[in-house]
Amino acid sequence: MTHHVVVVGAGFAGLQLVKGLAGAGCRVTLIDQRNHHLFQPLLYQVATTLLSTSEIAWPIRRVLRNRPDVTTLLARVTGVDRVTQRVTLENGTTVSYDTLVLATGARHAYFGHDEWEADAPGLKTLEDATTIRRRLLLAFERAEIASDPAERDANLTFAIIGGGPTGVELAGIVADLAHRVLPREFRAIDTRTARIMLIEAGPRLLSVFAPKLSDYAAAALERRGVQVLTGRPVTQVSRDQVVIGDQPVPCRTVIWAAGVQASPAANWLGAEADRAGRVMVNAHLTLPDDPQVFVLGDTAHVETDGKPVPGLAPAAKQQGQYAASVIRARLAGKPLPAPFRYVHRGNLATIGRNAAVIDYGRFRLTGGLAWWIWGIAHIYFLIGVRSRLAVGINWLWSFLSRQNPARLITQKETGRRG
Amino acid sequence: MTHHVVVVGAGFAGLQLVKGLAGAGCRVTLIDQRNHHLFQPLLYQVATTLLSTSEIAWPIRRVLRNRPDVTTLLARVTGVDRVTQRVTLENGTTVSYDTLVLATGARHAYFGHDEWEADAPGLKTLEDATTIRRRLLLAFERAEIASDPAERDANLTFAIIGGGPTGVELAGIVADLAHRVLPREFRAIDTRTARIMLIEAGPRLLSVFAPKLSDYAAAALERRGVQVLTGRPVTQVSRDQVVIGDQPVPCRTVIWAAGVQASPAANWLGAEADRAGRVMVNAHLTLPDDPQVFVLGDTAHVETDGKPVPGLAPAAKQQGQYAASVIRARLAGKPLPAPFRYVHRGNLATIGRNAAVIDYGRFRLTGGLAWWIWGIAHIYFLIGVRSRLAVGINWLWSFLSRQNPARLITQKETGRRG
């Protein structure tokens, strides 16, 4: 009976692992609750009308169509039984495994304020992105028809909570949208008067970057008309306002980019987890007491040189690659590879049109050149010629025409009134 | 005070009218409940994974950004007061008009069986298209994980109700999807065994086309594996089955392409309407008793040579163009143009990859050449270089690669369980 590897989650870690198992002589079943692999690093551009959903997501089956050893299942996993070695699916059926790989990613965390989610959506899925896009665009529409000036101003006020890369990237494009793309299209309002707040509880933006890059990012955002508020915790979020410290600000659009929480894999496994819910794994990325169970990516707590590995796409891919090499070594009866070591390839973030920051440790870069390098790097990482073409054309076109191509409002509001 | 023209609906008729009023010296307010103009003739390709939503829809504001005389409002109209000459919006505000143009289109009609809508969605909006796309793709996914053969077969059974152009075009692409695109991607099922039924109550498909073209379409669809059932009324639709005549067929995916009903404009106006709810207008496309109120497109009942003008995009455009000329003549104090006459430019329909029918009366064409002519004609009618490029590239790419680019399942099910 062929060795059966069950992989839950087709993100960067899971997909990389499956690719790494090509020709390894095992059967692979890849389970995901969505039908597509998502290129999350560009999700904020879908939310901000620069890209379409179809340009950064690919049907998992299509990506793996030439892998007869791989079966793809669209299903939600509800539990794992490590004794009988079975994964339970939502529809009640079970899938038995010889080796289990959990790479189920993370969701945004509201630090004990889950009631904020309806009014402050985070950005992890395509649905999150289209929800945020709809709210951004509807806010300008409501301002255009508002008779009450206070209502108009509240609709022209945007709060982005969290000063990490995602928050910085969102704030930069929202500012470009208000100042460069929309002005000519509205008659009653001047979209350039929109107030865009980037709110960070910590002392500076991009805390994982070098301080001088944080300063550059803050200055670049302020030049674009973004109000950068550091050292200010958000104490309350509701449909009508956001409270910064003790100062309430009327605001109709809030985006959450502040924190993440690992998926419930730890509960499924009954395994030890860190405060963010990430499963503690050993240097071979398996449970200490169960070498048949790997946990990868944002779902796992791994350390290199005593520092936890960050939740970045390259880290997830490296873990997928490594876990594949461990499984291959076991199947071939070869000695296991050396313990996993994360190789940090640096941090990148864009700050809207023609500005970005790159921190490769020794090599640091800001401005237009960094933006072009960032863009070319990301196009390289997309799957397939079509997506690379589409994204490249979109970026070049919006760079030249100052127009954003993905501006459709679709789907009704859910989760909150109006 | 400048003459104020209020236009409700930014479809083919409304947008054409606004374009026709360029430089006419009046103020125009264009009201639509969506933020985009939709190219409905290609909507079925969004539903069947060939095109993305952003490729056949354009933000109305963006299309009209160079028209300072035009104000665009994203709002839902709830009524018209012809005495005070005011349009009421959902938020309670009113907009007063000197001339009112209603071009609010049509929705699908279920012939007194509105309860069928949840299980048999029609195809009029982008949301309709993404709903149908999701159900098509989920059916194959559910078949792949089904343990019960009956459940698997029901998920591999597709019913398209209505043998007009939309039904024929949907059936053709669904067949291509099952027979050409998906087979290599599934392991447990053979998608080529999918049963695709095109059900028409009348004696033949494409009843507005010449009989020999109907015969060609039926034969071409059957060659593609579509089961063409003419002269069979659907008597019941539920979540689990469709009843054809008195024969129940287990079926999880039903698409409605059978009938349309005009929007409630007639009720707003308190005007006479035909059985399909279309407002009766005179040869100048206005209410007989109210020359300041125009009704256009699918919302209006107009006749040329005693025959009602069909609900086609070219007909809507011709009416928009004509109404603009009437308004311009009035503003300029010139004599009114001759009564409206619809010029029929023929009927086109595709039957999946590399097959189409064209009926220009004297000139009739079928097969591959007709398909290429159809494609080039439709690309020509799209708005902007970007969309033409994107659609052209998608069609060529899927024609050559036998892959459909728009295969994402997004958004949760609403309106029915699961």
pLDDT of chain B, 418 residues: tens digit per residue: 799 999 999 999 999 999 999 999 999 999 999 999 999 999 999 999 999 898 899 999 999 999 999 999 999 999 999 999 999 999 889 999 999 999 999 998 998 899 999 999 999 999 999 999 999 999 999 999 998 999 999 999 999 999 999 999 999 999 999 999 999 999 999 999 999 999 999 999 999 999 999 999 999 999 999 999 999 999 999 999 999 999 999 999 999 999 888 888 999 999 999 999 999 999 999 999 999 999 999 999 999 999 999 999 999 999 999 999 999 999 999 999 999 999 998 899 999 888 999 998 889 999 999 999 999 989 988 988 888 888 888 888 888 877 787 788 876 654 454 3
Please check whether residue B388 touches A, CB under 8 A.
no
Compute the distance between CA of residue A17 and CA of residue A7 in angstroms, rounded to an integer. Answer: 8
- Interchain CB distance below 8 Å, B126 and A35: no
Beta strands (DSSP E) in B316-411 are 347-350, 356-360, 363-367
Domain at B175, CATH number? 3.50.50.100
Indicate whether B120 and B251 sit together in one domain.
yes
Lowest mean pLDDT segment, chosen from A201-210, A397-406, B257-266: A397-406
The amino acid at residue A362 is: R
Indicate the residue of B72, B144, B408 with minimum beta-carbon distance to A53: B408
> Is there a contact between B390 and A397 (Cβ–Cβ < 8 Å)?
no
Contacts of B253 (CB under 8 A, 6+ apart): B135, B136, B139, B155, B157, B158, B159
Indicate whether B158 and B220 sit together in one domain.
yes
> Residue A126's closest chain B neighbor by CA?
B410
Residues of A in contact with B35 (CB under 8 A): 137, 141, 407-409
Indicate whether A207 and A251 sit together in one domain.
yes
Q: How far is CA A33 from CA A40, A59, B274, B416, in A?
A: 16, 12, 48, 19
pLDDT tens for each residue of B159-196: 999 999 999 999 999 999 999 999 999 999 999 999 99
In what side-by-side order are the strands of the sheet with A347-350?
Answer: A347-350, A356-360, A363-367
Q: Within a domain: residue A60?
A: no
Please check whether residue B46 touches A, CB under 8 A.
no
CA atoms within a 13 Å half-sphere pointing along the CA-CB vector of A149: 1
Q: What is the overall mean pLDDT for chain A?
A: 93
pLDDT tens for each residue of A323-368: 999 999 999 999 999 999 999 988 999 998 889 999 988 899 999 9
> Residue B58's closest chain A neighbor by CA?
A408
Q: How far is CA B285 from CA A152, B34, B101, B335, in A?
A: 38, 25, 10, 16
Q: Which of A223, A242, A258 is the last residue of a domain?
A: A258
pLDDT tens for each residue of A90-122: 988 999 999 999 999 999 899 889 999 999 999
Q: Judging by beta carbons within 10 Å of its beta carbon (0-12, 13-18, 19+), is residue A363 exposed, middle or buried?
A: exposed
Q: Within a domain: residue A326?
A: yes
Q: Within a domain: residue A224?
A: yes
Indicate whether A231 and A265 sit together in one domain.
no
The amino acid at residue B314 is: P
Indicate whether B171 and B155 sit together in one domain.
yes
Indicate whether B268 and B246 sit together in one domain.
no
Q: Within a domain: residue B290?
A: yes
Calculate how close chain A gets to B275, using CA atoms only, in Å.
30
What are residue A215's phi and psi, to 5 degrees? Answer: -65, -45
Indicate whether A173 and A86 sit together in one domain.
no
Residue whose token pair is 């969309």? B387
Please check whether residue B385 touches A, CB under 8 A.
no
> Is there a contact between A261 and A107 (Cβ–Cβ < 8 Å)?
yes
Instruction: Please provide the size of chain B in residues.
Output: 418
3-class DSSP state for residue B357? Answer: strand
**What Rg value do the Cα atoms of chain B yield, rounded?**
22
Lowest mean pLDDT segment, chosen from A146-155, A173-182, B379-388: B379-388
Q: Is A413 a catalytic residue?
A: no
Task: Give the 3-state secondary structure of B11-77.
Answer: CHHHHHHHHHCCCCCCEEEEEECCCEEECHHHHHHHHCCCCCHHHCEEEHHHHCCCCCCEEEEECCE
Please check whether residue A127 touches B, CB under 8 A.
yes
Compute the distance between CA of residue A180 and CA of residue A194 in angstroms, rounded to an integer. Answer: 12
Q: Within a domain: residue A27?
A: yes
- Interchain CB distance below 8 Å, A71 and B188: yes
Please name the residues between 58 and 77 in chain B that touch chain A, using a CB distance below 8 Å.
Answer: 59, 61-62, 64-66, 68, 71-75
Indicate whether B246 and B136 sit together in one domain.
yes
Please check whether residue A190 touches B, CB under 8 A.
no
Indicate whether A188 and A252 sit together in one domain.
yes
Q: Within a domain: residue A49?
A: no
Q: Within a domain: residue B408?
A: no
Active-site annotation holder among A151, A169, A222, A272: A169
> Which range of residues forms the domain containing residue A248?
114-258
Domain count, chain A: 2
CA atoms within a 13 Å half-sphere pointing along the CA-CB vector of A54: 21
Indicate whether A193 and A252 sit together in one domain.
yes
Calculate how close chain B gets to A71, using CA atoms only, in Å.
6
Domain at A285, CATH number? 3.50.50.60
Compute the distance between CA of residue B66 and CA of residue A229 in angstroms, rounded to an integer. Answer: 37
Indicate whether B311 and B227 sit together in one domain.
no
Q: Within a domain: residue A83?
A: yes
> Residue A65's closest chain B neighbor by CA?
B185
Residue A107 Cα to chain centre, angstroms: 9
Compute the distance between CA of residue B292 and CA of residue B60 in angstroms, rounded to an integer. Answer: 24
Compute the distance between CA of residue B141 and CA of residue B144 in angstroms, rounded to an integer. Answer: 5
What DSSP element (H or E) covers A291? strand A290-295
Q: Which of B332, B364, B380 is the last residue of a domain?
A: B332
Q: Which of B258, B283, B308 is the last residue of a domain?
A: B258
Most A CBs within 10 Å, among B64, B74, B128, B396, to test the A interface: B74
Indicate whether B123 and B245 sit together in one domain.
yes
pLDDT at B416: 52
